[in-house]
Amino acid sequence: MRILLVLGILALGLLQPCFSQPMMPAAAIDVNQLGFYPDAPKYAVINRPAAKDVFFIVTVGPSTTSWSEHVDTVFFGRLGPVLSSANSSLSTRIADFSGLHRPGIYRVVIPGFQNSYPFVIGSGVFSPLTSAALKGYYYQRSAMALTAPYADKWARPAGHSDVQVLVHASAADAARPEGTVISATGGWYDAGDYNKYIVNSGITMGTLLDAYEDFPGYFDTLHANIPPPAGVTQGVIPDILDEALYNLRWMLLMQDPADGGVYHKCTNAAFDGMVMPGVTKAPRYVVQKGTAATLDFAAVTAQAARIFRRFGAALPGLADSCEHAAVHAWQWAQKYPDSVYDQDALNKRYKPAITTGAYGDRSFNDERYWAASELLITTGDASSYVATVRAYYGISISLPSWAYVAMMGDFSLLRHASALPADLRGVIDTVKQGLLIKANDYVKKLAGTAFHTVMGESKSDFVWGGNSIAGNEGMFLINAWLQTRDPAYLDAALTNLYYLLGQNATGYCFVTGFGSHSPMHPHHRPSVADGIAAPVPGLLVGGTNPGRQDRQTYAYTEAETAYLDNDQAYASNEIAINWNAPLVYLAGALEALQYTAGYAQPGQTAPAAQPAPPARRLRPCRIP
């Protein structure tokens, strides 16, 4: 069978024309495959030379019978000028149909090309996406059985209970010598693997908690069909906080109660194979306490303390426990300001060697700044934290990432500016100015980009997990909008969501289970091993990555085309908790703001889309 498959591939290859330039994806019309708000900007991108400079938007009815050639043309426009991409050998033209406002289901049609994937126009178009992206965390839960009422066909037994985790030699001290058994149960699997990392949980939790703090009204009512915490009535805790709480409780177990330090990760010595969670029974360890992990923990628990205080009746004592844990962690980090988790060095000293994700970080000023900002806001203790905020504010206006979290402190200081000491006004003004300078740079470059999106304004956007950059740029721009109410920032943020949903050089909607053409084979152990054809839904894959560190064979290798939907292509097709978080923020923020921003009016819902047969050519159109 394998030989026949190879021969078939070779035969197909012989039928392909030769190109002097790298081969490009086959789809000619790249469009956001979910939909658009009625009064928001709307674009499709044409990545091939077109015989005519016109395009049409045609209706697609809510029943399968209306997918015929007999359709209504509702909009006509002319393609924009040719734009050469800075990230591949593609040239594009933009089809701008912002003037179409009527709710419905549509396609883009261009003579000579296969029609675009269908999309809707209507209010609330990204709410199912937000819900599914949030529920992606439920499918990542460790130590909990996922049951059918919530997990549907992806139900599975609990994996990795982690109630008997060993203290690794690198983490041993007098109170907890090597081999001490502790509990580190719960939490989320980090990515396509089954380990749990404090540093990456830090940026993930901070982003989800930011989403709630910025848009509590929307997230109070967003339902993702996840079970409530034990002993809490369904609906008392918003689903976004319910999900965050599941990981927060694991994080609290990762703190050594004796000294406040936080273990870097809970892990196998080596990665599990491509099996379901809990199949393997390898020992699990907590490893060295580190400054990065401890400060990330301090920031998250400080932010959680002020958020969960509102839910004290349902979760008595939680807010106080979080605040105490945050202060204790801060004190440890003050005592050990430069404890680097250097996995290679540790493996030369201690056994067993640990070869899972390192999340190594050697610079901690950004973590200090974030933690001090959150602790200042939560505790009001200026004497303990203002000096650190003053020392490190403005160190760099850079997108949040697991390795660089200073912007998380900026977001929180701006959000709570009115409650901060008056003598920090200058700090706040400087932070705001830096945010807006970078946001203006994003907006200024947008019009000249080949795919009309902020994502890809620099080739450095296309790296391992680059889709999280698209999400974080969107989050950044929404924060600029929150400071100014300038619609240009929100319009720019929209383009990055469009990118993730199909307006990109690959033609993929990068979220599993969404759109007409989305990843079917993510590097995600449950999706590979569960025997179900469809992958776990709501997960954002990493996206194009010309580095191709997985050493798989990619058909396309340029910066914005180097993507492979293969479960071994972890450099472009893995999933990760820190990539889903800005997707939740971006999609949820746009849903929360759609009416305020004038993108939609209540009641402008589109008809429900039905499963569609493949796109087909229309009869030739009469060109005006």
pLDDT in tens, 227-276: 998 888 888 999 999 999 999 999 999 999 999 999 999 999 999 999 99
Residues 53-68 have a mean pLDDT of 70
pLDDT given for residue 263 in this prediction: 98
Question: Is omega for the bond preceding 607 within 30 degrees of 0, making it cis?
Answer: no
Q: State whether the Cα torsion 552-520-504-113 is positive or negative.
A: positive
Least trusted range by pLDDT, from 174-178, 208-212, 602-606: 602-606
pLDDT at 7 over 70: no
Per the annotation, the verdict on 521 as an active-site residue is: no
Find tokens 């809707």 and name the residue: 120
Catalytic residue among 264, 523, 550, 558: 523
How far apart are the C-alpha atoms of 304 and 212, rounded to whole Å? 11
Query: What's the pLDDT band for 62 if we cut at 50, 70, 90?
Result: low
pLDDT in tens, 144-178: 999 999 999 999 999 999 999 999 999 999 999 99
Beta-bridge mates of residue 156: 146
Per the annotation, the verdict on 193 as an active-site residue is: yes
Query: What's the pLDDT band for 2 if we cut at 50, 70, 90?
Result: very low
pLDDT given for residue 11 in this prediction: 31
pLDDT at 9 over 70: no
pLDDT in tens, 433-459: 999 999 999 999 999 999 999 999 999
Q: Which fold has domain 31-124+605-624?
A: Immunoglobulin-like (2.60.40)
pLDDT given for residue 25 in this prediction: 57
pLDDT given for residue 26 in this prediction: 63
Domain boundaries, the chain: 31-124+605-624, 450-593
Catalytic residue among 30, 193, 242, 560: 193
pLDDT in tens, 520-552: 999 999 999 999 999 999 999 999 999 999 999
How far apart are the C-alpha atoms of 199 and 332, rounded to whole Å? 16
Find tokens 């091939």 and name the residue: 48
How far apart are the C-alpha atoms of 604 and 447, rounded to whole Å? 29
Catalytic residue among 361, 567, 574, 591: 574
Residues 335-353 have a mean pLDDT of 98
pLDDT in tens, 578-588: 999 999 999 99
Percentage of the chain lying above the pLDDT 90 cut: 87
Query: What's the pLDDT band for 369 if we cut at 50, 70, 90?
Result: very high
pLDDT given for residue 588 in this prediction: 98
Query: What's the pLDDT band for 618 if we cut at 50, 70, 90?
Result: very low
pLDDT given for residue 27 in this prediction: 76
Please list, in sequence order, all residues whose beta carbon lies within 8 angstroms of the beta carbon of residue 308, skipping any fewer than 6 positions away: 241, 245, 315, 318, 319, 322
Please list, in sequence order, all residues whose beta carbon lies within 8 angstroms of the beta carbon of residue 310, skipping any fewer than 6 positions away: none
Residues 492-504 have a mean pLDDT of 98
Angle at 62 between CA 60 and CA 66, to 5 degrees: 55
pLDDT given for residue 606 in this prediction: 78
Per the annotation, the verdict on 452 as an active-site residue is: no
Query: What's the pLDDT band for 24 if we cut at 50, 70, 90?
Result: low
Phi, psi of 496 (to 5 degrees): -75, -30
Catalytic residue among 96, 486, 530, 565: 565
pTM, full prediction: 0.93
Neighbouring C-beta atoms of residue 355, cutoff 10 Å: 14
pLDDT at 612 over 50: no
Average per-residue pLDDT for the chain: 92
Of 431, 415, 191, residue with least CA distance to 303: 415
Percentage of the chain lying above the pLDDT 70 cut: 92
pLDDT at 68 over 50: no
pLDDT at 282 over 50: yes
pLDDT at 394 over 90: no
Neighbouring C-beta atoms of residue 39, cutoff 10 Å: 17
